[in-house]
């Protein structure tokens, strides 16, 4: 029987709490909150458990964001339709039983459940206050990040800030999106003063005050609160972050601690537990011998054929030779194809995350959630929206100059708005930013409707075999498409959840 991770966790918590009301002495043969949380080390282990679901989340989060946009598409495989559920996310034909949505929902709520357990118990145990504050800060940040993931993808969701103390307490109605955003802002603000800065926190993938400031700015930008976002970003400029001279070096596994990365999900290959990253393989063409691209032996059949760069993305680069980001981001493959009717002739693929590794299908490439290059572009956007074009240009052009491009000189708000959005598209390609940029700029429906029309008019240009095309109902993009359906499995468990319109 399918187990539902989040509800299992909070129902277990409720059961443990009920047991504690019946017995004054916790059972010696079982673990409860009372018996587990005894010292700092116990909470450090619990914090590691909060981070753990980030790995499965970001191995597949691209399915719900970058693939949803006009940056990435897929190679249609007529011989194997096992990837249809992922394709549905790209063609706006998603169904309520989509497993990617279900896993995303459950893993984010698993973070929330684990964070709530830490926050509910940590003040009851005595140990060093500075260390305790840092642990609380991490729990608050990660809970906020999980709710940010959920509210952007699904709209208003049930809010849990305490472990459930009863079976009924495990099931709640949906809160409004505004209520969720308020909780996120409160959590992030509370975390900032507790978290260390980059110079103190040396562990790759751990949260710092810079990460919290950037998340806070991201939330305010989503809500179009430009002045508040600017205020959140200003302190990041004073921290020990900077642009790495070589764009390609930002993403190298051998350079995980570089000065540009503000928050990243850490992966490790060849471990007993599945802590490795798989997304680089998802972005490669389907091949009978994927080592022709990766160089990693033994030869295996792999490659997902997803997030294949679209013609529109390729055309958005000002120069494929001068812009150093192009060669670092885009690879091409020419050779035999195992897919019926598909020809690989300079077929592009996202190579941004493809770096040397040892085990086929497993890499230790990290996912960059936030980095300094994005902070500069975030600040440029916030300033421009407040008619502060002069400083906005400074930050925009710092990113362009690192890429090898000349400075942008347009001075009008409209021209600079277009320039920043275009720069974000190429600078942050395949970092799960484009879909949210389209929504924030109010262009998602129009851009994706036009994109869908182009795919239908010329399927071969978008990696379909001759005679194959999207279904007639594909790319029916409306305002309802800006969020996903609540996974039907969650509604079955909790009938008080109300489905989103249009699904």
In DSSP terms, 53 is beta-bridged to: none
Structure tokens given for 28 = 């010696």
Give the number of other Cβ atoms within 10 Å of residue 328's Cβ: 18
Residues 6+ apart with CB under 8 A from 365: 251, 253, 267, 277, 279, 280, 353, 354, 355, 357
Angstrom distance (rounded) from CA 53 to CA 35: 24
- Residues of the chain predicted below pLDDT 50: 1-25, 29-30
Q: How far apart are CA 240 and CA 359, in angstroms?
A: 34
Terminal C-alpha separation, the chain: 26
Which pLDDT belongs to residue 15? 40
Which of the 8 DSSP states describes residue 250?
G
Other Cβ atoms less than 10 A from the Cβ of 489: the count is 18
Nearest to 428 by CA among 380, 496, 361, 495: 380
Q: Are 115 and 135 a contacting pair, CB within 8 Å? A: no
Predicted local confidence at residue 152, as pLDDT? 98
Whose tokens are 């680089």? That residue is 280
- Specify whether the CB–CB gap between 94 and 474 falls below 8 A: no
- Write down the pLDDT at residue 303: 76
**Token pair of 78 as six digits:** 């007529």
Tokens 């194809």 found at: 337
According to DSSP H, which parts of 174-290 are helical?
A: 177-192, 209-222, 226-237, 279-282
List of residues 6+ apart from 334 with CB closer than 8 A: 344, 345, 346, 347
CA 279 distance to own-chain centroid: 12
User: In this structure, what are the phi and psi dihedrals at residue 335, rounded to the nearest 5 degrees?
Assistant: 165, -175
Position 31 scores a pLDDT of 53
Q: Which two tokens stand for residue 121?
A: 């118990």
Query: Residue 37, preceding bond cis, omega within 30 degrees?
Result: no
How many whole angstroms separate alpha carbon 118 and alpha carbon 126? 14
Query: Are 466 and 460 within 8 A, CB to CB?
Result: yes
User: For residue 352, what is the DSSP state?
Assistant: T
457, two tokens: 């008019």
pLDDT at 232: 98
Report whether 358 contacts 348 (CB < 8 A). Answer: no
Q: In the chain, where does the domain assigned CATH 1.25.40.390 lie?
A: 1-195+477-503
- Determine the pLDDT at residue 131: 97
Predicted confidence at residue 1, as pLDDT, reads 40
Contact 458, 135 (CB under 8 A): no
Q: Does domain 1-195+477-503 have CATH number 1.25.40.390?
A: yes
User: Which pLDDT score, from 0 to 100, does residue 170 have?
Assistant: 82
In 3D, which of 47, 194, 214 has the Cα closest to residue 118?
Answer: 47
Q: Does residue 56 contact residue 149 with C-beta atoms inside 8 Å?
A: no
372 three-state secondary structure: helix
């Amino acid at each position: 029987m399918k187990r539902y991770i989040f509800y299992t966790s909070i129902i277990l918590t409720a059961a443990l709490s009920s047991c504690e009301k019946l017995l004054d002495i916790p059972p010696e043969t079982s673990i409860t909150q009372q018996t587990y949380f005894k010292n700092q080390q116990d909470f450090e282990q619990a914090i590691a458990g909060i981070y753990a679901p980030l790995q499965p989340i970001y191995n597949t989060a691209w399915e719900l964001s970058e693939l949803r946009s006009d940056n990435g598409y897929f190679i249609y495989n007529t011989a194997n339709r096992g990837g249809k559920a992922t394709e549905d996310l790209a063609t706006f034909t998603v169904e309520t039983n989509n497993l990617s949505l279900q896993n995303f929902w459950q893993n984010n709520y698993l973070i929330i459940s684990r964070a709530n357990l830490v926050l509910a118990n940590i003040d009851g145990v005595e140990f060093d206050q500075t260390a305790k504050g840092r642990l609380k800060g991490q729990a608050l940040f990660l809970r906020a990040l999980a709710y940010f993931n959920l509210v952007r993808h699904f709209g208003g969701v049930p809010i849990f800030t305490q472990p459930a103390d009863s079976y009924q307490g495990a099931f709640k109605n949906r809160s409004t999106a505004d209520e969720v955003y308020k909780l996120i802002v409160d959590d992030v603000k509370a975390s900032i003063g507790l978290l260390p800065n980059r110079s103190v926190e040396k562990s790759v993938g751990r949260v710092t005050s810079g990460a919290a400031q950037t998340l806070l700015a991201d939330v305010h930008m989503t809500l179009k609160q430009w002045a508040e976002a600017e205020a959140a970003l200003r302190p990041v400029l004073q921290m020990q972050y900077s642009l790495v001279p070589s764009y390609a070096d930002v993403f190298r596994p051998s350079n995980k601690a570089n000065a540009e990365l503000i928050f990243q999900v850490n992966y490790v290959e060849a471990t007993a537990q599945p802590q490795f990253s798989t997304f680089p393989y998802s972005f490669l063409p389907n091949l009978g011998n994927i080592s022709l691209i990766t160089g990693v032996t033994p030869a295996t059949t792999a490659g997902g054929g997803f997030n294949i760069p679209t013609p529109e993305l390729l055309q958005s680069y000002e120069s494929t030779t001068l812009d150093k980001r192009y060669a670092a981001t885009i690879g091409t493959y020419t050779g035999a194809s195992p897919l019926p009717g598909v020809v690989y002739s300079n077929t592009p693929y996202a190579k941004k995350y493809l770096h040397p590794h040892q085990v086929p299908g497993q890499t230790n490439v990290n996912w960059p959630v936030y980095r300094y290059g994005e902070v500069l572009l975030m600040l440029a956007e916030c300033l421009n929206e407040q008619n502060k074009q002069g400083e906005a240009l400074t930050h925009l052009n710092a990113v362009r100059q690192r890429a090898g491009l000349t400075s942008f000189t347009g001075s009008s708000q409209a021209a600079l708005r277009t320039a920043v959005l275009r720069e974000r598209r190429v600078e942050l390609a395949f970092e799960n930013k484009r879909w949210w940029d389209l929504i924030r700029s109010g262009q998602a429906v129009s851009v994706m409707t036009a994109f869908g029309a182009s795919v239908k008019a010329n399927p071969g240009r978008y990696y379909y075999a001759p005679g194959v095309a999207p279904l007639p109902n594909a790319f029916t993009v409306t305002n309802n498409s800006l969020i996903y359906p609540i996974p039907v499995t969650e509604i079955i468990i909790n009938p008080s959840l109300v489905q989103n319109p249009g699904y």
